[in-house]
Structure 1
Amino acid sequence: VMGELVWKKDEQGYVLSAFFWGYICSQIIGGYLAGRYGGRLVIGITVLGSAILTLIGPLAATTSGAIFPAFHTMWSVWAPPLERSLLTGLTYAGAQIGNTAVMPLSGLLCKYGFAGGWPSIFYVIGAVAVLWCLLWFFFVSDRPSQSKRISKKELNYIENSLADILASDSKKAVPWLAIFKSVPVWALFCGHFAGDWGAYIMATSLPLFMNDVLGLDFASLGFLTAIPYIAYFVFINLGGFVADKLQNANILSTIATRRLAMIVALGSQAIFLIASGHCGCGQETLVIIFLTLGIGLSGVQYAGFVVNYLDIAPTFAGPLLGIGNTITCIAGIIGPLMVGKLTPT
């Protein structure tokens, strides 16, 4: 990418993988702390810490890793079993709204922003995150019984559907040894790694591909890079909705639903990404369509491995996801490095 900072391809790979060196640090501890002190507090402090570090330096990733394990801890006491796919998917789909907004905004700020252009990206995003924290602490509660905005009918429905989980001791020790000896858990980790491998490479390398291969300028680059993530947002929600419907109608069992979601997501991603690589010069529109379908349909995986953490161990979903995310950060670290080595020119 040509600009104020001119780096070789392998150097770009190191920079793009740098986020995951920090992101890996707080995954397991984030899930553990959410179980001990509540997801509301952990997520709020995490985002606030990330906001402050975004404003002053490059260390934001060291705190942001706690967010999704803490979300899983919260959903374990908020999401009824037959609504888990949709509700959990909504959380992750919300992150795609951020991607969709930040990518074009970053392109514009890089070209027209204050403080020399690209530094303004960090200042604007950091300031927005601070405002988000204020809303989070004002509106969100750790448990349904602590919420001042939930109706009595909804509270009874949630508590009845999650009676066993709510009755268990959320502060009891995490069975670390049993987790690492469990074959289903390791199968889940494998699915998680496969899903995040493609997602992380696309997130870090898609702008480079569109700039270097398709020849797009920075202003249009941000908007076109956002298109696949709009599709991603749609398919995360659609996949969760369909998965819950299949289970509620007794068409598929829980395990069959999760497997189908992973087959659709990873199979579609592989097919369309391979197809993108076989497009010729002058077929930029077709490439963008293939990338949009590949990335978009991969969002169905959130009705697969993501919610499966809540299926197999709802009481320890936060720490379990923290372990899974820690392992898959390896994909985020080596993916950009691999791209840099394979595309030196």
Structure 2
Amino acid sequence: MMSLDMEESPIINSDIDENVTSSSRNLIVEDREETTGWIKSRTVLGIMGFLGFANVYAMRVNLSVAIVAMINSTAPVPSTNDSTLDVCPAGIPDNSTVVPKTGDFNWSAEQQSIILGSFFYGYVLTQVPGGRIAELFGGKLVYGVGVLLTALFTILSPIAAYTDFKFFIAVRALEGLGEGVTYPAMHAMLARWIPPLERSKFAAYVYAGSNFGTVISLPISGWLCTLDWGGGWPLCFYLFGGLGVVWFIGWMFLVYDSPQSHPRICPKEIEYITQSIGPQEDKRGMAIPWMKFLTCVPLWAILIAQCGQSWLFYTQLTELPSYMNNILHFDIVSNARLSAIPYFTSWVAGIIISIFADWLLAKGFISRLNSMKLWNTVAAFIPAFGLLGIAWAGCDRTAVMLLLSITSAFGGAVYAGNQMNHIDLSPQFAGTMYGITNAASNLCGFLAPYAIGRIISSEQQTLGQWREVFYLAAAIDLGANLFYLFFASTEEQDWSLPESDDMTASAPVESIMYPES
């Protein structure tokens, strides 16, 4: 006979009254499983997933830097004596300053915004199908092919740009179609592979690949744009596209859809994962309750929170290099290098915060619901107020970069916030639900650049115009977080449970908290 003491168990916390069923599923008999192999199979999944997201984000963000070199900009930079305009004076050139090359295209600011947002035209379309296909047939092939298609269309991008403006937009949209399946497919895989008490930090490890890819891509792209060989900026697309193809080969050999289908996994790891999560295979055939999704307020809370955070994120991701070039007047190499710093701090801090969040949960210091609300608020409020600070930092380059770095670090708390909330609401529909919320939030991927293009003048960009951009992003992010605070939940929804699970949910609490072995 074995029992778990309520005070000592890291699993039993104040969520027990809210969610008896989730507590039974999350029950872990052993504190830590033993494996006979030198590396856990889910660790391999984490490493390859990390590298996959690093690849797709490198392929996504390199255009933000490359477009600065692609544009033939002949607009004069205001002199240091010009005090009549709300603009920053030009910096004093020195021997280390890189002289920009003449770009190949005469695209207006509005056209540039359309190009930067075109990726998301396709990206939002494959979110829900990608998640559902991964739930039904496994996420390995869905995720892998998504990265591969992204890589192939990235390699095609320079040819498309030289061919026709509209063709370039179409190729970027097709690239988005491929990448659109990656997040929901990975979410479906994490629901089958990762025990509940590991999810926050594991998601931080895997999804932080996006920050790592950005950190690597921006400075390398900036350097490549200065080269004469190969035209400079096309190398950004060829390099990262080629790495994506190489990654795909490794992914297909090393990763499997579920622990049960892995031929080399340690049996003890399978047992540990099954005890922690429960069997998932028998739930694949459940019909999707679309109308329940529409009326699920906690799902709406996740969706709205992600929309707010995405608007702020894409304001920074797609427009920061343009801001640093046109307002702060950094040369392209310094621009790219410094643009990467906020993503580096977000990457490192996101992992640290998620480890700390899981530790608090394991010790029972905070409930899962309150933990998600706390860290989601941190991820929303501090970056939003940081943008307000940047709006008034004006031409102070040091202050702008310091604010961006600090606030982006706290933005990494999102992994311990709403990012894994879908699995709490319904483990078997986590991929589909993530596809829905991610598709909605990534509408901001082209709405934010479009709105910015309407606010900012193509003739003479001013600090006042950019302040409006930052105010808008901060207001949307803060308002969305308030909705999440009021309506978020970690209780598994009744429509997520098969009839057999409904009986388990109605079982006495004592039989769940004190199982016999």
TM-score, with length taken from structure 1: 0.96
Alpha-carbon offset, residue 108 of structure 1? 1.3
Higher relative contact order (CA 8 A, sep 6+): 1
CA contact (8 A) 1:264 1:298 kept: yes
**Corresponding residue for 2:302?**
188
Match of 1:99 among 204, 211, 214: 214
Report the more deviating stretch, 9-18 or 203-212: 9-18
2:111 alignment partner in structure 1: 11
CA RMSD of aligned residues (A): 1.4
Mapped to 2, the partners of 1:233 and 1:148 lie a distance apart of 32
Deviation at 1:326, TM superposition (A): 1.2
1:134 corresponds to 2:249 = yes
Measure, in 2, the Cα distance between the counterparts of 1:157 and 1:119. 48
1:212 Cα offset (Å) = 1.1
| More moved, 67-76 vs 84-93 | 84-93
Q: Which runs of 5+ in 1 are unaligned?
A: none
Q: Distance in 1 between matches of 2:349 and 2:331?
A: 28
Q: Which residue of 2 aligns with 1:277?
A: 391
- Equivalent residue number for residue 241 of structure 1: 355
Q: Which 10-residue stretch deviates more, 272-281 or 108-117?
A: 108-117
Aligned-partner residue type, residue 246 of structure 1: L
Q: 1:206 Cα shift?
A: 0.8
Match of 2:16 in 1: none
Determine if the alignment matches structure 1 residue 216 to structure 2 residue 330.
yes
In structure 2, the residue matched to 1:31 is 131
Which residue among 144, 153, 160 is the counterpart of 1:44? 144
The residue that corresponds to 1:323 in the other structure is: 436
User: What is the correspondence of 1:1-345 to structure 2 with a 5 Å cutoff?
Assistant: 1=68, 2=73, 3-57=103-157, 58=171, 59-112=174-227, 114-163=229-278, 165-166=279-280, 168-281=282-395, 283-344=396-457, 345=460
User: Deviation of residue 173 (structure 1)?
Assistant: 1.9
Residue identity opposite 1:16 in structure 2? L
Which structure has the bigger radius of gyration? 2
Tell me by how many angstroms 1:145 deviates.
2.0
For 1:280, the aligned partner's letter is: G
Contact 1:85 1:244 in 2 (8 A): yes
Alignment: residue pair count = 343
Deviation at 1:5, TM superposition (A): 2.2
Using the alignment, how far apart are the partners of 2:449 and 2:365 within structure 1? 40
Instruction: Tell me if the contact between 1:83 and 1:244 (Cα under 8 Å) persists in the aligned partners.
Output: yes
**Cα contact 1:100–1:226 (8 A) shared by 2:** yes
- Judge conservation of contact 1:204–1:336 (CA < 8 Å) in 2: yes
Report SS of the residue matched to 1:141: coil
* Runs of 4 or more above 4 Å deviation: none
Deviation of 1:138 after TM superposition, in Å, equals 1.0
The letter of the residue matching 1:7 is: W
Secondary structure at the residue paired with 1:111? coil
Q: TM-score, normalised by structure 2?
A: 0.65
Aligned mates of 1:321, 1:11 — CA distance in 2:
31
Unpaired runs of 5+ in structure 2?
1-67, 74-102, 158-170, 461-517
The share of aligned pairs that are identical, in percent, is 34
Would you say the 8 A contact 1:269–1:295 is kept in 2? yes
* Distance in structure 2 (CA, Å) of the matches to 1:46 and 1:280: 41
- The 3-state SS of whatever aligns with 1:252 is coil
2:107 maps to a residue whose letter is W
Answer with 7-16 or 224-233: which moved more.
Answer: 7-16
Alignment-mate amino acid for residue 106 of structure 2: V
